[in-house]
Amino acid sequence: MVFYYVWFFIALALSLLLITLFYIFFNKNLGAILKVIALVLSVFFIFRYCLNNLFLESFNYENFIKSENKLGFVFAFILHWLSVTGFLIITMRPFFNSVIVLNVLSYAICPIIFFCNAIFLKQLLYSNFGSGVFLGTLLQGVFLCLEVGVELALSLFYLFTFFKKKNRILKTQYFYAGIAFLGMVLATMPNYTLQIFFDPYNYAFKVDKLNFWHRIYIYPIFIVPIILYLILRNKPKQTRLFALLYYSLSGLILYTLTHQFKDFLSVSNLPFHLCNTALYVTPLCLMLRAKKVFYFTYFINVLGAFFAIMMPNFNMNGINGTVLISDVLLFFRSHYQAFYMPILVVGLSIFERPRLREFKYSLVGFFIYYVFVLILNAWFYNYDTSVDYFFINSNFIASKLGLWAENLRNVIIEVKIKGLTFKFYPIYQTLFFIVYVILSLITWFIYSICFKVVLGLLELENKQREYKSDMQVLIIALKGKNIGEPMNENLSDKLVLKNLTKRYASSNVYAVKDANLEVCGGEVFGFLGPNGAGKSTIIKSIVGIQTISSGSISVCGYDVKTQEVMAKRQIGFVPDHYALYEKLTAREYVNFIADLYEVEKSVRDSRLNNLIKQFEFEHAIDNPIKTYSHGMKQKVTIMSALIHEPKVWILDEPLTGLDPNSIYQVKECMKNHAKKGNIVFFSSHIIDVVEKICDKIAIIQKGQIQLVESVKNIEEKTTLEKFYMSVITSNNVEAIKFENEKVV
């Protein structure tokens, strides 16, 4: 035992010396040396476990019952369990410095774990190798002592840096770190745990054909990923990446603990089963950011793992079929990871959601893998008849489907090469591949639907969060006023744009920049500008169809951003391209809009009757909208915009396509609405109409309002048409302004 302690102290001293030297003289390179030490430690760990079987792996309930020191055995078992958890924490720490939970665990938990390992090194050696380790010098025991020494050195260094920097850790961070540690410990629970503390020969726990215990093992594939997603979705990306990598590495470790170097001397034990490859591929993809390889496991491995969980391949009739056996627990845990880890990686945005192109590439990769495995199966079968990678060399899958599937295997092709027989089942194996591809395609569509649903729910949640935040801002801004009151009562009869700026996400050019405008009640205001100048952008921003990049809009004192509902209640909008429910009649549609604005029935009926007479619509008001002409549909849009008597009536190119009579009716309606003290704000390319009915105009060009002017002032010197052309063709707006004019 003294010999093992010597190796422990050598590893501890050398590690501390190396870290101290780099800390004092090469501090900038300290991070790199910590990563190197972590990688070396990983090599020790893997090599030790792959040399020989773990002692506790063969331990069972009967051994535990006969044990004279049960408490000591339980302590040794827990020590071994936590040593795996501590190993993962301490080796991942140099690669994830920004993850607060990991930092807390590295100096708060790891020193305790590795101090216990050092103090109770004898119990740790026993839990790994049994009592035989003390009869002589065991190479694996030396590796274990080296591991503990390096791990303790790293944890002491992290503890030292914590006190050195005097980091302030909140109590909540300790709490979250504790919760995370429990989850991390659960992820590394040894597969042999149940068979040690419970009777594995109890056939009441047998897993068989979707019975109760089989279903108990199936439920986690749906429950666990949802829990992990809800916990991690709002965490920083590094935290999400760490959690997924930790979980995938713990699964890989638990799988490889049962596979030693000597096992791979048998060709049937090589990890070419599809779900086995997923255990290696997923952590490698996360570490190396290998997206293309990842999409293979995303589309192909997930489906294979699901089928394996539903049709588990272990001895259902014997002891191996009970839920208490380590092989059964290992089978399900490894296939859990192959099933939902790829989904979580995409769901948590570590890799972006794949498109159809990535799906096609994954199928090409699957075809290459399938042909490779076909050849391996046929080749290795000459040496070991149990070889059956991906279950395409035996009738395992066919037997689940029925006699018709087994009959497909009657067609056989045998090829002899240098004394070896290569046997293939062309019809069965081809159909196997085709069906798998079809099911993969169905899976891809299911993924797409699920992600759309999830993204929709997340968007709704974000909207609710934004709404609550906006409400808090609004309550503060109102300074005690009722939430339905305007934020600025001095602007109760005005439409005001202040430094309004809009830039679309995909463009570097501003659609509108620093637009300032003030329109007062009782005015008919014309908004002029060439196509693409920014007129529709400003109008859509006012009515709340699109957001603004910066600046503000006030509608009758209501801020469009923070009081959007109340602001919209003040507005009646006639868009340039109407969208009506054409199966309704005009009366039904206008009543529907009136319901949205909560207009009382008696009031709406009176207003609608007046509008029907004004637009000469008596003959068509109760006909379906789909039977109307363009001009009639435009009138329905106008009537629905006026049914709630808006204080601000906004029209975007309202006269396009109307006949002269309809144009006259709309013009008169606009004048009458303004005479009531309301604002009429409209854009148009028909200069003559603007000149006859507008009190003021604004001209916008290339997203900037060039000027705001009274039509009366313009007409004293020239026509509106000439004035407009002068403005949009001149580089110097000031040169065409009138002397002594007052810009409003």
In a domain, residue 59? The reply is yes
Total number of domains constituting the chain = 3
Please name the residue that has the structure tokens 């050019």: 509
pLDDT of residue 263: 67
- Integer Cα distance of 235 and 426 in angstroms: 50
Same domain, 324 and 424: yes
> What type of residue is 434?
I
Please name the residue that has the structure tokens 């005005």: 494
Same domain, 275 and 325: yes
Same domain, 184 and 205: no
Same domain, 213 and 148: no
Closest listed residue to residue 373, CA positions, set 298, 276, 287, 258: 276
Same domain, 167 and 235: no
In a domain, residue 494? The reply is no
Closest listed residue to residue 55, CA positions, set 118, 126, 148: 126
**704 sits in which H/E element:** strand 704-710
| Average pLDDT, integer, range 326-343 | 86
In a domain, residue 237? The reply is yes
- List of residues 6+ apart from 556 with CB closer than 8 A: 486, 491, 492, 493, 494, 495, 567, 570, 647, 648
In a domain, residue 491? The reply is no
Q: What share of the chain is helix, strand, coil (3-state, %, to 5)?
A: 65, 10, 25
Which region, left, alpha or beta, applies to residue 216 given φ > 0 means left and ψ of -120 to 50 means alpha? alpha
Burial track 556-569 (b if 16+ CB lie within 10 A, e otherwise) = bbbbbbbbbebbbb
Same domain, 157 and 45: yes
Same domain, 386 and 319: yes
Same domain, 707 and 586: yes
- List of residues 6+ apart from 203 with CB closer than 8 A: 322
pTM assigned to the model: 0.68
- Under the banding of pLDDT at 50, 70 and 90, the label for residue 716 is confident
Domain that holds residue 206: 200-480
- Integer Cα distance of 727 and 104 in angstroms: 66
**HSE of 430 in the Cβ direction (CA atoms, 13 Å)?**
7
Residue ending a domain, among 157, 190, 223, is 190
CA 495 vs. chain centroid, Å, equals 40
Asked whether the predicted pLDDT for residue 522 surpasses 90, the reply is yes
| Average pLDDT, integer, range 301-307 | 81
pLDDT digits (tens, 9 = 90+) for 157-203: 988 888 877 666 677 888 888 899 999 999 999 888 888 888 777 77
Same domain, 172 and 294: no
In a domain, residue 121? The reply is yes
Q: Given the DSSP bridges, would you call strands 524-528 and 679-683 parallel, antiparallel or unpaired?
A: parallel
pLDDT digits (tens, 9 = 90+) for 100-121: 888 889 888 999 999 998 998 8
In a domain, residue 553? The reply is no
Closest listed residue to residue 33, CA positions, set 144, 150, 149: 150
Asked whether the predicted pLDDT for residue 347 surpasses 70, the reply is yes
Same domain, 623 and 650: yes
How large is the angle between the packed helices 302-310 and 274-288, nearest 10 degrees?
140
Same domain, 263 and 311: yes
Asked whether the predicted pLDDT for residue 137 surpasses 70, the reply is no
240 in Cβ contact with 350 (< 8 Å): yes
In a domain, residue 676? The reply is yes
pLDDT of residue 136: 60
Residue ending a domain, among 190, 214, 233, is 190
563 in Cβ contact with 474 (< 8 Å): yes
pLDDT of residue 318: 47
Same domain, 230 and 145: no
With a pLDDT cut of 90, the percent of the chain lying above it is 30
pLDDT of residue 418: 85
- How far is residue 235 from each of residues 262, 341, 349, 410, measured CA to CA in Å? 42, 17, 11, 55
In a domain, residue 741? The reply is no
Burial track 504-534 (b if 16+ CB lie within 10 A, e otherwise) = eeeeeebbbbebebbbbbebbbbbbbeeebb
pLDDT digits (tens, 9 = 90+) for 231-248: 998 889 999 999 999 999
pLDDT of residue 494: 92
Average pLDDT, the chain: 85
How many other β-carbons are positioned within 10 Å of the β-carbon of residue 668? 13
Closest listed residue to residue 196, CA positions, set 331, 85, 62: 62
Residue ending a domain, among 168, 190, 212, is 190
Burial of 189 (0-12, 13-18, 19+ CB in 10 A): middle
Q: Which residues pair with 414 in a beta bridge?
A: 423
pLDDT of residue 735: 39
pLDDT digits (tens, 9 = 90+) for 489-499: 888 889 999 99
